Amino acid sequence: MLWACHSYWETEPVPVEDRALLLMVEGKYREKFGGTFHQSKLAALAGPRHLVRDDDSRGGHRRYYKLNDPQGIRELTAEFNRS
């Protein structure tokens, strides 16, 4: 899940400080690992502080997240880039 978040984050065509994650991450996850996930799993990643909640006002009841440490996450998930 964390790999999918980082992989999607790297493709966002906006400045780094404006990048945010939502369910679009699911496509990256499905491409790499198959299956789907619910947005609640993004909240679970926020617990260990890999993701931080972003402004909720963007899309009603949707929750957006930002990567807390993109370089650290890149290092944690590097093994999945090799496969």
CATH number where 67 lies: 1.10.10
**What is the overall mean pLDDT for the chain?**
79
pTM of the complete model: 0.70
**Using an 8 Å Cβ cutoff, are 31 and 83 in contact?**
no
- The DSSP call for residue 66 is E
Predicted confidence (pLDDT) per residue in 3-32, tens digit: 888 888 888 899 988 888 876 677 777 888
pLDDT of 75 over the 60 cut: yes
Give the domain range for residue 33.
2-81
Helix, strand, or coil here: 67? Answer: strand
**How many CB atoms are closer than 10 A to CB 77?**
16
Taking only Cα atoms into account, the Rg of the chain, rounded to an integer number of angstroms, comes to 12
How many structural domains comprise the chain? 1
Predicted confidence (pLDDT) per residue in 39-71, tens digit: 677 777 776 678 888 876 655 667 788 888 989
> CA-to-CA distance for 54 and 35, rounded, in angstroms?
26
Q: Find the DSSP H helices in 12-56.
A: 25-33, 40-46
